[in-house]
Amino acid sequence: MIYCMIKAPITIIFIVYFILVNCVFSQNTTDTKKKNYLSQSILLQDQLIYLEKNKSSYDLIQIKRVKTNYKLGDTSNDIIFIKKKLMLLGDIKSFNVNTIFDSSLLTGINNYQKRNGLRISNLIKNDLIQKLNQSLDKTIFSIKLNMKRWSYFDTLTLSEFILINIPEYELRLIKNKEVRIEMKVIVGKATNKTPQLNSAVNYIVFCPYWNVPNSILTKEIMPLIKRYPNYLSTFSMEWNNGKLRQMPGRSNALGLIKFIFPNPYDVYMHDTPLKNLFKENERAFSHGCIRLEQPKKLAEYLLKDSQRWRENDIDLTVNKNKEQWVKINQPMPIMIKYFTAWVDENQSLQLRKDIYNLDEKSK
């Protein structure tokens, strides 16, 4: 059962108030902001004003844990209070004063889960209730912190660059402040963090060797070599001048394409044979390098000014299983950053888990 400190007689007042506030809030959003991905400080400021105005109403609603998950079509006198929470957050655009888990509530739940980087479940579970019960203080803190982080990009003069947002597990190629390419990425585990950095992609390597780092060789591969005598041949590995490397090919840990950008951390972007990992909601699996969902798409874009490299040329090259380095005529700036709050193209506030505890350390 769900209990709420807001009493039924003020429900109509609540609804009318929300609709008026929501209309004003929506009107503050212009088409220019929708197109301009780098207006994040302004966009987040709008979200901050709205949430601070509605914080007391939102925090007042406290939902009790349920014994059975609610699903579409279920009826309960308590469901109305979940709708109120989601309505205040903007995940439900129109409020039905009823007790039914209807399609509008389903849409609201899915919106909320998507905005928070959660797996969409189509259910009301206790983990969702627990998250909805959290005070908006945490969200407000996150917005303020990320406004500072985004302030650099709001004044960025580069016309084109790659941005990787670590907590979002996402890459965007931005030109003239609009997103041209977007794809999922896999980043480093908490024990092998992907570093924040600024650089420029200057080489693409087709069919790369994987030169096994000493740390991985010592901690992970050497025990396997001792345990399994055929390990090297099974995984197409060889010793080369005292170093271990994996031969080029589709089963190579780096896949078929690697992107080089100078940095002191020896990290890079690359393809991967483990495509199934991109289906995961949280994708912190690597030793620090960034695995790309669509490396060929990015390679085509970075080589678009070269008549030598078209889609068929790339296909022919990767099918040779022979390492080939290609210099990019115009190196592409790349920025790997850490944002746990931003506003998307639909003007929805996006929030992500603080996977490296950098927000927590900023308190």
* Average pLDDT, integer, range 183-190: 98
pLDDT band, residue 15 (cuts 50/70/90): very low
Q: Mean pLDDT across the stretch 77-98?
A: 88
What number is the average pLDDT over the span 204-209? 98
Q: At what angle do helices 11-27 and 79-88 cross, to 10 degrees?
A: 30
Residue 92 pairs in a beta bridge with: none
Give the pLDDT score at 97: 74
Report, as an integer, the average pLDDT of 315-333.
Answer: 94
Beta strands 324-337 and 197-206, pairing class? antiparallel
CB 6 within 8 A of CB 80: no
For 283-297, the pLDDT digits (tens) are 999 999 999 999 999
Looking up tokens 């909320």 gives 112
The pLDDT value given to residue 24: 39
Q: What is the pLDDT of residues 161-186, one digit of tens each?
A: 999 999 999 999 999 888 999 999 99
* C-alpha distances in Å from residue 207, one per residue of 199, 239, 278, 353: 23, 18, 21, 34
The strand pair at 269-270 and 290-292 is best described as parallel
d(CA 128, CA 63): 10
> What mean pLDDT, rounded, does the chain reach?
89
Query: In what order do the strands lie in the sheet containing 243-246?
Result: 210-211, 243-246, 237-240
Q: What is the pLDDT of residues 104-146, one digit of tens each?
A: 999 999 999 999 999 999 999 999 999 999 999 999 999 999 9
The pLDDT of residue 316 is above 50: yes
**Which residue shows structure tokens 């990290």?**
267
pLDDT surpassing 60 at residue 192: yes
| Torsion-angle region of 286 (φ positive above 0: left; ψ -120 to 50: alpha; else: beta) | beta
pLDDT for res 36: 66
In degrees, rounded to 5, the angle at the alpha carbon of residue 84 between the alpha carbons of residues 82 and 86 is 70
pLDDT at 277: 98
CB-CB contact of 4 with 63 (8 Å): yes
Q: How far apart (Å, rounded) are the C-alpha atoms in residues 25 and 38?
A: 20
By percentage, how much of the chain surpasses pLDDT 70?
Answer: 90
pLDDT score, position 35: 56
Given this chain, do its domains 8-139 and 158-209+248-359 carry the same CATH topology?
Answer: no
Architecture of domain 8-139: Orthogonal Bundle (1.10)
Q: Is 341 in a helix, a strand, or coil?
A: strand
Q: At residue 5, does pLDDT exceed 90?
A: no
Cα–Cα dist 137/353, whole Å: 15
What's the CATH fold of domain 158-209+248-359? L,D-transpeptidase catalytic domain-like (2.40.440)
Instruction: Reduce the DSSP state of residue 210 to 3 states and report it.
Output: strand
- Average pLDDT, integer, range 39-66: 93
Helix (H) or strand (E) holding 211: strand 210-211
Q: Kindly state the percentage of the chain with pLDDT values over 90.
A: 76
- 153 pLDDT band, cuts 50/70/90, is confident
| Cα 155 to Cα 22, 39, 50, 159, 347, distances in angstroms | 29, 9, 24, 11, 20
- Report domain extents, the chain: 8-139, 158-209+248-359
Residue 10 confidence (pLDDT) above 80 = no
Q: The pTM is what?
A: 0.88
Confidence label for 155 from pLDDT (cuts 50, 70 and 90): confident
Amino acid at 18: F
Comparing CA positions, the residue from 59, 115, 66 lying closest to residue 92 is: 115
pLDDT for res 269: 98
What mean pLDDT is predicted for residues 310-320?
Answer: 90
